[in-house]
Amino acid sequence: MKKNIINLTLIFTAIFLAIGCDNYLDVNTPSGAQEESALGMKDLMGPAMRNTVIANYYAAIVFSNYVQNFGEYGYGASGLTSNATTWNVIYTDILPNIKVLEAKAAENGALHYGAVIKMLEAINISFAVECWGDVSYSQASDPVNYQYPTLDDGQTVYNQAFDLLNEAIAILEAPDSSGFMLGNEDVIYGGGNDAFNQWLKAAYTYKARMQLKMMKNGGTTASDVLSSINKGFTSNDDDFQLDYPDDKNNPYYITNVVQRSTSNFYYAINDQLISLMNGKQYPFAGSITEDPRLTSMFVKETGVGIPAPDTDPWRGFMSGGDGESSDGESGNVYYKDGGFHTSSNSPLFFLSYSEAMFIKAEAEFLVNGGTTTSSGTTASGYNAYLEGIQANIDKLGVDGSDYLADSSVDVGQSNLQLHNIMREKYIANIHNTETYSDFRRYDFSSDVFKGLDLRLQQPDDEYVGQWFTKCIYPTSETDTNTNIPYDESSSVTDIWLFQ
């Protein structure tokens, strides 16, 4: 890596750019790199938005394994992780571009445009804290003066992210006469006259998500969460998602459909998820025998393209096992070719209306004095719980009327427990890194996440009997920067947010 930095250049990255440098301070640039002065705001905004979702996708590959959405070949459980690709995307592809964008927005007086940039910065640095705890921030985007940046206190950085988000909200709520609008570069909402209103709702929804996590150690309350979420998303049309055009392929499709069909690496579905949908943990009392969303996402197979008998139950794989399900029979649940999450053009989801409703349902439950084992909520909280389910069912395009009417789902306002809310949030948020935060917020409690248990382990496995609770720092950083320590044991140490 070069140590003598002569001139800062901007790397204008594509969606799946292969990270070729060892460290986010590397100034070697690809042949197509352009000087920042040659690029306008619209050239940079699209990649900043896109890579924000991509950074979460790379983390979700590991975090979804930790929370037992899926396993490697169905059963393989992930060990400790540095989440290095997410680190590289944030520090190489996102934050440098954001700094240039902020300067250009200020120069042009583009207030609302600049507010969206602040929001993207807040999302990425808060997510970095949730991954690693203490992170580089104050020195991270100034490689001329800080070739070896130090780590900043995670709580301080998280509070800075929260402040940035509040600044973005205040600006978006104020007039802007600059005339700068979002156009096609807005790969989330498509630009246009209403785009900034969409981003404002997204900002409030993300703020509520942060506040929910800050309740334990960050000084926020459930009432604060409600104040924000009531200004957030109002329908599935508001979802923060990255759509894939016809000439691109969704990465979950590539890995779990294409690669599996050619006998290469793939993921398949864990028992923890399936047990919440097949009647095992929540027996159905009415006419249905399974969650209607199962067939929109998954298939039952005994081999690639070989359907399992109709009479066979849905059997997810045990995390850390040898291919068996919880009943001792072989797992049989795989991603569906053409499924909701595994079509070639399926979107990647970052923040959804259904999640917003589950945030509201949880906050109302807590305002009502709810605990991890208590029953009963407010009328508003119960309606939000049902609306979150309906929104996800509508998103997947299935008929959920019998499911929503079943007494295992429609438990009644006075009987609602936290585990009911978190069951539905867990299903709706498959592939979402927020589930890992939910698990950590509630200390991996089986009272809150029914049926949850540690991955199956062997005596010689690393950290037997412990959940992985954060990422270690990538060796690309620890090998070149003495300010960033290498410590595998930190992978089972809670970050301040969840202590």
Is the alpha carbon torsion for 109, 112, 116, 122 positive or negative?
Answer: positive
**In 3-state terms, the chain is what percent helix, strand and coil (to 5)?**
45, 5, 50
Q: Which amino acid is at 482?
A: T
- Pair 323, 268: CB distance under 8 Å: no
Burial 222-252 (b: 16+ CB within 10 A, else e): bebbbbbbebbbeeeebbbbbebeeeebbbb
Structure token digits, residue 107 = 């120069």
| pLDDT per position as a tens digit, 374-419 | 999 999 999 999 999 999 999 999 999 999 999 999 999 999 999 9
- For residue 474, give the nearest of 208, 138, 81, 154 by alpha carbon: 81
pLDDT of residue 483: 98
Structure token digits, residue 137 = 């921030």
Torsion of CA 365, 370, 371, 375, to 10 degrees: -90
CB neighbourhood size of 285 (10 A): 12
36-68+82-180+467-498 and 348-441: same fold?
no
- Which CATH code is given to the segment(s) 348-441? 1.20.120
Residue ranges per domain, the chain? 36-68+82-180+467-498, 251-335, 348-441
Q: Burial level of 394, CB count in 10 A (0-12/13-18/19+)?
A: middle
C-alpha to C-alpha distance for 61 and 80, rounded to whole angstroms: 13
- For residue 23, give the nearest of 392, 355, 480, 469 by alpha carbon: 480
Structure token digits, residue 132 = 């690693």
pLDDT of residue 18: 33
> Which stretches of 54-95 are assigned E, i.e. beta strand?
70-72
C-alpha to C-alpha distance for 200 and 112, rounded to whole angstroms: 10
Q: Which amino acid is at 252?
A: Y
- Pair 350, 108: CB distance under 8 Å: no
Angle between helix 154-172 and helix 195-214 axes, rounded to 10 deg: 150
- For residue 373, give the nearest of 271, 287, 447, 295 by alpha carbon: 447
Domain 36-68+82-180+467-498 in CATH 1.25.40.390? The answer is yes
Q: Is 239 left (phi over 0), alpha (psi -120 to 50) or beta?
A: beta
Give every residue of the chain whose pLDDT is below 50, as ranges: 1-33
C-alpha to C-alpha distance for 14 and 340, rounded to whole angstroms: 25
